[in-house]
Amino acid sequence: MSSVFISFSSADEHEARLVAALCSEQGTTPWFMARSMRSGDWQIQIDNAIKNCDLVIVLVSQASNRPTSYVKNEILLARRLEKPIAPIVIDGVSLPTALLDLHAWSWNRKSSIDLQNIILEIILGTVQTSRKNATESDTEEDNQFDEKSESPPILSRGPSYHTIKGHLAPVSKQTGTSHTFGSGANQMKADESPNSFQLKKLLQLTIIASLIGLAIAVVIISLL
C-alpha cells in the first residue's frame, strides 16, 4: 500500500495533519487538502486522489457529520469505487449512516499515543488484507488457466455436471448403466480398466487360436 487519502472537515485540519504525519512514519504517502490548498478545480483533485488511493481514512467528528460537510460526498465516492475505508471516530460522536457497516476506531483528541496505535493497526491491517486478496486473485487465475489448458474427461452427454479434479464433466441422467467406447467386440466399458480389457482380449484370442488348431487337427485326422 502506498497512498492514503484522508477525508476530514476543515474544522479538523489539525487532527488531519497528525494522521498524515503518522501515516508517513509507516511508509505510506498521505493525501489531504487543507483549506489553504484549495484553488482552481480542487474538487476534481479530491475526486482523482480518491480514485488513485489505496486506503481512505475518514475523520468522523461533529463537524464532518454536518449536512453541509464535503466528507459525506467523499465517503460515497470511496464506497462506489470499493475503496478500503477506515473511520476514526473523534470524541465518541456517532458514525454516519454510510459507515455503519464498517469497523471503526475510537479516538480521544487528547491522546496522541492512542492515535499512533490506531494508525499502525489500520495500515498493517490494510496491507495484510491487500496481500490476502492478491494471493486469492492469483490462485483464482491459476485455477482458471488450468481449466482452460486441460481437457476435461467426457463421460456422457447431459445437462447435469459434477466436478473431476477442478473440471466440469457431464453426468448421464441414467443410473445403473455403464458407458462404452468403441464398437462391437472391441467395445470397452467406461468403468473397466485398460489392463482388464487387454486381459480379456488376450483370452479371446487364445480361445480362437485353440479352436482353429482343433479344427485343423480334425481335418488332418479325417484325411488319414
Between CA 95 and CA 87 the distance in angstroms is 8
- Say whether both 124 and 197 belong to one domain: no
What does the pLDDT look like over 37-48, one tens digit per residue? Answer: 666 688 899 999
Is residue 207 within 8 Å of residue 199, measured between CB atoms?
no
What does the pLDDT look like over 63-75, one tens digit per residue? Answer: 999 998 999 999 9
- 52 sits in the region (left: phi over 0; alpha: psi -120 to 50; else beta) called alpha
Percent of the chain at pLDDT exceeding 70? 63
The pTM of this model reads 0.58
- Say whether both 135 and 176 belong to one domain: no
Which residues span the domain enclosing 208? Answer: 193-223
Of 183 and 141, the one with more pLDDT: 141
- Say whether both 156 and 115 belong to one domain: no
- Say whether both 93 and 139 belong to one domain: yes
- Say whether both 116 and 216 belong to one domain: no
- Say whether both 31 and 45 belong to one domain: yes
User: What domain count does the chain have?
Assistant: 3
